[in-house]
Chains A and B, each alone.
Chain A
Amino acid sequence: MKISSKLLHLEVRNFFREKTVRWAIAGLVLFGLYSFYHGKNVIGSQLATISSIPSVQKTHLQHIAEEGKGKSVGTTAYYPFFYTANYPSPWASFSIGQRDVNAFSLKIKILGIEGQLYDSELTNPLTLLVGNLDAAFVFIFLFPLLIIAFTYNTVSQEQEHGVWRIVETNAPSLLTIIFIKLLVRFSAVVLTASIVFLTGVLLLGLPFSGPTFQLFLVIVCYLLFWFLLCAFVISLGKSSSFNATALVSCWIFLCMLFPGIANVLISGQIAIPEALETTVKQREGYHAKWDLPKKPTMETFYAAYPQYRKYPVPENEYSPGWYYAMQYAGEVEARESAGQLFDKLAQRQALAEQIGIFNPVIYAQQMLNRIAATDLTNHIEYLQSVKRYHKQLREFFYPPIFENEQTEHLDWTSYPKYQPEAAAMNAGNAPVWPLIVWSVLAGLSAILLLRRNFIQHTRRQNA
């Protein structure tokens, strides 16, 4: 296949002189700019909240320590909140993912952890419902529409307008011509995508490092898939309106229906009543202890912390050591259903990723969220880290509680600080092979059908 540069050049001119093409590109660039603004806005306000934490935490603890003067640590330790935050990765503003729905900052007391993990951020639910128009949305959902608009009438319009007959009598190889036309359109899409992406990198301040290139790679492979899907529909050799209808239907199916049905399947397959179950259980487990003999409760506690056995816990009156042991015992009782919850969340994510292999739209979205560390996996990791932090905090307070220290004798600034997970900050691995496989499938069928419908069509007419 020989492609003359002159032909390519003229095809480019022919394509870009179309007014709708320029409008569409301008529109996409505008949507892109808006999405960067939106992403920056959302993540920026989350960062502002997170950055307010240290001072809030400081004054909060100062107040607590102040009010606790003269009382024991055991009494005072009931009150303080300790703030944690799920820090956004630098790419979060590109693909906000689940960060708007899931809490990005949790405050915890050293009481039983379970009820404290599912506190949600205050957000306008309608805002959550309509969702984000972030850069990932522009690339995953709007760029395919641009590709459809660019390609749906590639050959069909020329057939409808009668130019195609003249092309047919002149071109030695129709495949070459169709290939040139598609090449010009694909280059236009990739060029637009690159410009928008690069603008995004600059505006959002994405670092020039691996994950940024990974984002771009996923996007280009994804756009290639859509492009070849369009080529496939074109290769059926139907009219422009058929192509438009078929392609928009594909878009609706892949972007709306398939995910909708998959979501129903996933939540049906892996139902999560555990969150409520856990809350109810922990509450009952803990409160029942009040009216039970103190010994068994203390034994549960001693099993994990034998070093506190030496402190006396009177059976017939309240003591702080017993109170926190009770909190701990309630947590232990809820541990099983809490574990189930986390298992199920992980299962949900795994199933969603398996399903994603069958739908490039879902897959690309998942990969972008994974790279940006804004997916469910990241949230689970965050919750786990909060649990670990809760353990550190408890263990920090146990000695002064059991020693019956006075509040003013404790250094209220030496409490363990929350360390954001190193793993959560690292972008996950995002293989693109499923996108490539789908692209190859669409591309091969397109070539086969193009040969059948455009090259050998004289023979078919005769049959």
Chain B
Amino acid sequence: MHLHLIRIVALHEIRTVFRSKMPFILYSILLAMLLLAGFVGWNYVSKFNAQQARYTTEVQDNWMNQPERHPHRVAHYGYLVFREKAPLSFFDFGLDSYVGNSVFLEAHRQNTVNMSEAGFSNGMLRFGELSMALVLQLLVPLFIIFLGFATVAGLKQNGVLKILLCQKASYFDILAGKTAGLVAVTWLLFLPLILAALIGGAVLLQNEINAELLLRSGLILFVYAVYFLIITMIVTGVSAMSKNASNALIMLVLGWMVCFIVIPKSAQTLGSSLYKAPDKIAFEQAIEAEVRKEGDSHNPDDPHFAALRANTLKKYGVDSVHKLPVNYGAMVMQEGERITSGIFGTQFNKLIETYQAQNAVSVILGFFDPYLPLRNISMQLCGVDFDTFSEFQKQTEQYRFDKTTLINKIHLTQISYENDRAQKVAQSNWQQMPPFEFRPVPLAATIYNAKWSLIALLFWLVAGAAALGFISSQRKFQL
């Protein structure tokens, strides 16, 4: 390996690329798309968040301005939580369009997060929405393919490779130099744009910049840089293995199809057939059955609630629920809430685990397809991944449970058992409840969740270099 020779080859490659017209045309198209996608994404997120904030305020105001009400009415009046998009979600839309945007929180009932944007789409999109991440993940590799498919194969065709190999540079030097030159061009063309978009967009959305955001942007920049390098190594390698440029092009485009369309789609099919997730009806049936088993608050003869009654009566030393100093109805309700919430939590965690197991297939396949780990890491760093979404579900459920518990407590202590329905309590009781605030997955946890994808990406880096080394050692690839 001769570093200065690699540099000479690389510089020559850069000059060659900048001299031809085609890269320029392709880059202008990609640039236009990136700017368009960035603008559209940013605009959408800012409008969306403004809209969600408006509804959040409206719902919170309505909540605060409730007149005197019976606590159980308040429990059923419920609360609506509107999901806001993460600051970097304008860059990578990730799962955002496919997960619900609002959830209705009420007593007794665990509602799922509903109303995703995809629900009202018309099926035009089969490759996802036009986001900056989509362009960078799918189209920049294609750009690198068009830039570099002939880089070695073309030299074979016109015999220049033989002349080159007669000079001092080894075949590996040539391949390394070609890779370096191509990736330098790609980095130069795209990385500054990514950084500017990430930081500029996030600052404009939030009006502030914090260390975490900078760190996330830096990491995104790093993984995309690594990704472009991996793709470039593959392109150079395939070009070096091909007899002529058009063979290389066909192979690369075919590989692109397989890695970017076929494997990602089949990974999910494989995942969902390996780990069967229940449909909604089955999921709810399972919960209902378990709740029935645990204790049925509607049934006066239910052993669980009979025991609760006996214990309570004993505790207060009275012989009838009517004589209790607290509202026994509220106590039953809270007990029911505790049971259903616990069962729902367990079932829901099981469902999430099933989905995670399904998604793990794409993490493992990341060792066969470099697109998958990058896609996953990018979503995770932008806060539009599965973990963020399930975190949202969990936090809203926790918030629902806390809120209902508090309301039941008011019911327990401030409403007497007799003539329960006719009583009301003051507004101040629920005005002290804090509004919902989503706590996003912290960066350290994100990185921990992304560990296998990161390892896969590094694996590709090492494997790419090793492959170039192997190809350069084979005589048949020099002809």
Q: Which residues of A contact B (CB under 8 A)?
A: 20, 31, 34, 38, 41, 45, 49, 52-53, 56, 67, 83, 97-98, 101-102, 105, 107, 115, 118-133, 137, 140-142, 145, 149, 153, 157, 240-241, 244-245, 248-249, 252, 255-257, 259-264, 266-267, 272-273, 275-276, 279-280, 283-284, 287, 290-291, 317-318, 345, 348-349, 352, 355, 362, 365-366, 369, 374-376
Contact = CB atoms under 8 A, between A and B. Distances in A.
Interface string B289-305: 00000001011000000
10 contacts: A20-B250, A45-B279, A49-B281, A56-B281, A128-B95, A129-B128, A130-B268, A241-B246, A248-B142, A255-B127
A348 B120 contact: yes
Contact of B280 (A97, A121, A284): A121
Contact of A365 (B100, B124, B282): B124
A276 B121 contact: no
B140 to A, nearest CB: 12
A272 B330 CA distance: 40
B349 interface: no
Nearest to B51: A273
A369 to B, nearest CB: 6
A127 B358 contact: yes
B142 A252 contact: yes
Contacts of A115: 104
B98 A125 contact: yes
A128 B123 contact: no
B253 A244 contact: yes
B82 A245 contact: no
Contacts of A279: 80, 102, 104, 115
Interface of B: 22, 26, 29, 33, 36-37, 40, 51, 55, 58-59, 62, 67, 69, 73, 77-78, 80, 82, 94-95, 97-102, 104, 112, 114-130, 134, 138-139, 142, 146, 149-150, 245-246, 249-250, 253, 257, 261-262, 264-269, 271-273, 277-283, 285, 296, 298-299, 351, 355, 358-359, 362, 386, 389, 421-422
Contact of B279 (A122, A149, A276): A122
Nearest to A105: B281
Contacts of A273: 51
Contact of A122 (B95, B245, B266, B278): B278
B359 to A, nearest CB: 5
B264 A261 contact: no
A31 B351 CA distance: 30
Given A49-B281, A121-B279, A241 B268 contact: no
Contacts of A145: 253, 257
Contacts of A141: 126, 261
A275 B120 contact: yes
B123 A263 contact: no
Contacts of A38: 269
A22 to B, nearest CB: 14
Contact of B98 (A129, A153, A318, A362): A129
Nearest to A352: B122
Nearest to A102: B119
B150 A241 contact: yes
Contacts of B124: 259, 262-263, 266, 352, 355, 362, 365
Given A248-B142, A291-B69, A31 B262 contact: yes
A13 B215 CA distance: 60
A293 to B, nearest CB: 14
A234 B262 CA distance: 28
A263 B139 contact: no
B282 A49 contact: yes
Contacts of B285: 56
Contacts of A102: 119
Contacts of B40: 264
Contact of A120 (B116, B273, B282): B116
Contacts of A365: 123-124, 126
Contacts of B69: 290-291
B123 A375 contact: yes
Contacts of A120: 100, 112, 114-116, 119
B334 to A, nearest CB: 20
Contacts of A355: 124
Contacts of A252: 139, 142
Contacts, number: 218
A125 B82 CA distance: 18
B36 A129 contact: no
Contact of B272 (A67, A124, A241): A124
Contact of B127 (A83, A256, A284, A376): A256
Given A131-B126, A137-B126, A348-B120, A124 B82 contact: no
A125 B422 contact: no
A352 B124 CA distance: 8
Contacts of B359: 124, 126
Contacts of B386: 124-126
Contacts of B62: 284
A444 B146 CA distance: 29
Scoring B82, B97, B261 by chain A CB atoms within 10 A of each residue's CB, the highest score goes to B261
Contacts of B253: 145, 244, 248
A67 B268 contact: no
A124 B282 contact: no
Q: Which residue of B37, B123, B149, B266 has the most chain A CB atoms within 10 A of its CB atom?
A: B123
Contacts of B272: 124, 127
Q: Which of B73, B129, B362 counts the most A-chain CB atoms under 10 A from its CB?
A: B129
Given A132-B265, A252-B139, A105 B280 contact: yes
A126 B268 contact: yes
Contacts of B149: 241
Contacts of B97: 129
Nearest to A137: B126
Nearest to B299: A67
Contact of B265 (A133, A140, A283, A284): A133
B130 A376 contact: no
A272 B77 CA distance: 25
Given A20-B250, A245-B146, 11 more contacts: A118-B114, A118-B115, A119-B280, A120-B100, A121-B280, A129-B97, A130-B265, A157-B246, A260-B127, A280-B55, A369-B123
Contacts of A276: 51, 55, 82, 101-102, 115
Nearest to A131: B126
Nearest to A71: B298
Contact of B112 (A31, A52, A119, A348): A119
Contacts of A52: 281-282
A120 to B, nearest CB: 6
B80 A128 contact: no
A255 B130 contact: no
A225 to B, nearest CB: 17
Contacts of A362: 124
Contacts of B422: 317
Contacts of A83: 281
